[in-house]
Amino acid sequence: MNTSLSIDNIMQCVRPHLRGLRPYSSARDEFSGQAHIYLDANENPFGSPLLSASSYNRYPDPHQQAVKERLAALKGVSPKQIFLGNGSDEAIDLLIRAFCEPAQDSILITPPTYGMYEVSAAIHNAGVVKVPLTPESFQLNTQMVIEQSKHAKIIWLCSPNNPTGNLLRKEDIRAILNHTHCLVVVDEAYIDFSDDEGWLPHLQHYPQLVVLQTFSKAWGLAGLRLGVAYAHPQIIELLDKIKPPYNINAYSQKMALQALEQPRQVALWIEQIQRERQTLHHALKALPFVDKVFPSDANFILVRVHDAPAIYRYLIRHGIIVRDRSRVVLCDNCLRITVGKAEENKQLLDVLQHWQKED
Ligand SMILES: Cc1ncc(COP(=O)(O)O)c(C=O)c1O
């Protein structure tokens, strides 16, 4: 058992040159109180051409304190356990940047999974150790992950997983946390669509655990670009040190605060999507050319059909875009279909019912 892994052990895995890094100190770091004349940040004193939005001539809070406080209250964590990124893609990038020495260190991923882990690793010239999920049930090969983790700095687990839609079993993730020495990132971009509480309640037990969530899915704010990493305050401090100083713009911060006042609206959408997901699951299953509809805890469904590329093209001709995942490992002939509004799902099913194999 590896219950003795401490935050000091994890911080030893940070790239050595970053450990003593002095971050950029912005004008807003050096003075963060209230004043009536600001001549410290070389901003435009007149405002901006956007007359209705004159405060955009000023730089935003680099620490996003107001958003973090509101989010911390909603999620039951401390603001010090929160990093905000320009999408969770930024958190993915920064975690690899912080822990993986180029041409030396590796991350471990469990395909089929979200593509950006591998792309970000490639950008940083980090290696990628792949331990595929089990075929069809898409669960972790836990023993193999533990064995192979000695070649990796970060283990990336996506739950609910994209593109398969299923949650990874809690006991498997717990075994990985207990028997490896890596940073373990659980990407919960889709957790809001599941009835599972996810891994946030376990943060205090595992200093090596990072949980990623996003405003892009259930919160309906993909266009704002706002992702969240929850972790031990020392890991958050490290990410804050290496991020671009003003990575979350003023508009995103303002809109996030407004959105966070409306959790009830988000909960209603989630309920609707869960209901639609079930309806769509059963309707897809009944189609003659569908081999398998995989169970989903996310806002999309993976479905195996007779000829995925042909059906994909057929849907495009009818103005409906889904994701062809048939070239992804373990996903032969699979399409990933986002759960839409009831009317959209109905149109999708109407079109699918008329599909006939192309000559
Ligand atoms: C599993 C997973 N993680 C992260 C992301 C990126 O989300 P964001 O929009 O916050 O960058 C996605 C986007 O599709 C995703 O599927």
Identify the CATH number of the domain in which residue 175 sits.
3.40.640.10
pLDDT value, residue 30: 86
Residue 28: what pLDDT?
83
Q: How far is the CA of 188 from the centre of ligand 1 (A)?
A: 9
Query: What is the C-alpha separation between 58 and 209, in angstroms, rounded?
Result: 35
Check whether 312 has a pLDDT greater than 80. Answer: yes
Task: Answer yes or no: is 2 within a domain.
Answer: no
Measured by CA distance, the residue closest to atom 11 of ligand 1 is: 87
- Residue 49's pLDDT band (cuts 50, 70, 90): confident
Judge if the beta carbon of residue 173 lies within 6 A of ligand 1: no
Within-domain flag for 232: yes
Where among 214, 245, 261 does a domain terminate? 261
> Is the torsion defined by CA of 307, 309, 310, 314 positive or negative?
positive
297 in contact with ligand 1, CB cutoff 6 A: no
List the one residue out of 153, 151, 114 whose CA is nearest residue 133: 114
Q: Which of 227, 261, 295 is the last residue of a domain?
A: 261
Domain match, 296 and 171 both: no
The answer to whether residues 231 and 310 belong to one domain is no
CB atoms within 10 A of CB 76: 9
Q: Does one domain contain both 299 and 256?
A: no
pLDDT higher than 50, residue 341: yes
Distance 189 CA to ligand 1 centre (A): 6
**Residue of 216, 248, 296, 336 with the most ligand 1 atoms within 8 Å of its CB, for mutation:** 216
Q: Residue 8: pLDDT above 80?
A: yes
Q: Cβ(216) to ligand 1 under 6 A?
A: yes
Q: Which two tokens stand for residue 335?
A: 């399409």
Closest CA to 185 of 151, 156, 149, 153: 156
Instruction: Calculate how far, in angstroms, residue 352's C-alpha sits from the geometric centre of ligand 1.
Output: 28
Are 68 and 132 in a shared domain? yes
The answer to whether residues 286 and 240 belong to one domain is no
Mean pLDDT throughout 69-92? 98
What is the DSSP annotation of 293-345?
E---SSSEEEEEES-HHHHHHHHHHTT---EE-TTSTT-TTEEEEE---HHHH
Is a pLDDT exceeding 50 seen at residue 359?
no
Give a yes or no: residue 132 inside a domain.
yes
Q: Is 75 a domain residue?
A: yes
- Centre of ligand 1 to C-alpha 214, Å, is 7
Determine whether the shortest distance from the Cβ of 88 to ligand 1 is under 6 A.
yes
55 domain-assigned: no
Range of the domain at 331: 264-353
User: 165 in ligand 1 pocket by Cβ < 6 Å?
Assistant: no
Determine the pLDDT at residue 92: 98
Residue 33 domain-assigned? no
CATH code: domain of residue 298: 3.90.1150.10
Q: Summarize the confidence of residues 332-353 as an average pLDDT.
A: 98
* Ligand 1 atom at shortest distance from the alpha carbon of 158: 1
Per-residue pLDDT tens over the stretch 167-198: 999 999 999 999 999 999 999 999 999 999 99
Same-domain check for residues 20 and 140 = yes
Assess whether 193 and 272 both reside in one domain.
Answer: no
CA of 331 to the centre of ligand 1 (A): 19
Token pair of 216 as six digits: 């892009």
Same domain? 236 vs 349 = no
User: What's the rounded Cα separation, in Å, for the pair 21 and 16?
Assistant: 9
The reported pLDDT for the residue numbered 29 is: 86
Kindly state whether residues 226 and 270 are assigned to the same domain. Answer: no
DSSP code, position 178:
H
Alpha helices in 110-262 (DSSP H): 116-123, 142-148, 170-179, 233-242, 250-260
In total, how many domains does the chain have? 2
DSSP per-residue string spanning 250-292? HHHHHHHHHHHT-HHHHHHHHHHHHHHHHHHHHHHHTSTTEEE
Last residue of a domain, one of 243, 261, 279: 261
Output the six-digit token pair for 128: 């990628």
Does the residue 172 lie in any domain?
Answer: yes
Residue 53 has a pLDDT of 62
182 occurs within a structural domain: yes
Same domain, 191 and 285: no
Residues 257 and 281 in one domain: no
My answer on whether 110 and 252 are in the same domain is yes
pLDDT tens digits, 215-268: 999 999 999 999 999 999 999 999 999 999 999 999 999 999 999 999 999 999
Alpha carbon of 264 to ligand 1 centroid (Å)? 23
Task: Kindly tell me if the per-residue pLDDT of 347 is higher than 60.
Answer: yes
Percentage of the chain exceeding pLDDT 90: 91
